[in-house]
Structure 1
Amino acid sequence: MAQSANEFARRFTTFREQVQSGGVIEVTAHNRTIGAFLSAREHQHCLDMKKREREVIKTSDMDNDPMALIMSAEYSKAAE
């Protein structure tokens, strides 16, 4: 759901209640997205995803099966 920044500011209480059900409200100005209002659940999901993006897995910490698959992979060949 997209709302103009003016409308969002005017009806903040209404949107706060709507977003609590787990949604996201996109906020626009001059027909461009300038931000979003997230439920607590969506915000936590974003934080979790950012954390996973920064995780580093050392090859020495990997199990043998995934490492063997990586080592035997062929460029441009789809998995069977």
Structure 2
Amino acid sequence: MAQALRVSATEFARKFTTFREQVQSAGVIEVTAHNRTIGGFLSAAELNHYHDMKKREREVIRVSEMDDETMALIMNSEYGKASE
């Protein structure tokens, strides 16, 4: 993934119309203050992607709907051991 465009909050506020166009190709513009990210400006496509991810985060998967491979991985997992 390409490096997100980073701009200061002051520059972002002064040149919003410029960044409104640039975000369409950049996807994300990080807005900073004192060299710390304080927020981000997302293109419509990135915002839709974010909403899709948030929706899947809450998705319920029934055990009866899991495939055999996933079920075997869960059944054979060990507490405190990272997956390989």
Q: Give your verdict on TM over 0.5.
A: yes
Q: Which has the larger radius of gyration?
A: 1
Match of 1:34 in 2: 38
Structure 1 counterpart of 2:7? 3
Structure 2: where are the runs of 5+ without partners?
none
Query: Which residue in 1 is equivalent to 2:56?
Result: 52
CA distance in 2, matches of 1:12, 1:50: 27
Change (3 A) 1:17 1:74: closer
Q: Give the deviation of 1:69 after TM superposition.
A: 4.6
Whether 2:76 is the aligned partner of 1:61: answer no
**Secondary structure of 1:44 counterpart:** helix
1:21 aligned partner, one-letter code: S
Report the number of matched residues: 78
Q: TM-score by structure 1 length?
A: 0.79
CA RMSD in angstroms, aligned pairs only: 2.1
Give me the identity figure in percent: 68
